[in-house]
Amino acid sequence: MPGPLVERNADRPEEAPPGGHVILRDGVPGEPDPDLGTEPRTYYWVHRADVEFYVEDPDQAARDAAMAALLEKFDAALASDPSLGGLVDAMEAEEQLIEQDAEEGFVTQKGVLVPVRLEYASTSALG
């Protein structure tokens, strides 16, 4: 199985390639929590972003298996580098998965949305 096509903030695909399609959404950083006792001031952030996964196959069992394989790869990637190479202090997928199946015009496609929680600190109030 080829690797998935990965894009940032793209439109929902009309068709998913054989390896699947992953769309990373920027999300929202939330409100900063300033630590007034540090110099320079440190701001702590909890950023929520979404990752969308799409697979396509006319056979529902094959579609489900392809989605399970894609989500397993994502889970393994999160586990192997939960700090994104030091860019964040912690990262984890939220437990909630929202599945979308057979929307009008996407009969052979399955989509899953995974919210991701990113925690980090910065010395800027802008993130």
Report the distance separating Cα 87 and Cα 47, nearest Å.
12
| Domain with residues 5-122, CATH architecture | 2-Layer Sandwich (3.30)
* Under 8 Å between Cβ of 67 and 53: yes
In this model, does residue 1 exceed pLDDT 60?
no
Entry pTM: 0.86
Tell me which residue of 2, 22, 15 sits closest to 116, measured CA to CA: 22
Q: Is the pLDDT of residue 123 over 70?
A: yes
Domains of the chain by residue range: 5-122
Residue 106's pLDDT is what?
A: 59
48-94 pLDDT, tens digit per residue, is 999 999 999 989 899 999 999 999 999 999 999 999 999 999 999 98
pLDDT at 36 over 70: yes
Phi, psi of 28 (to 5 degrees): -130, 135
pLDDT at site 17: 93
Chain center to CA of 108: 22
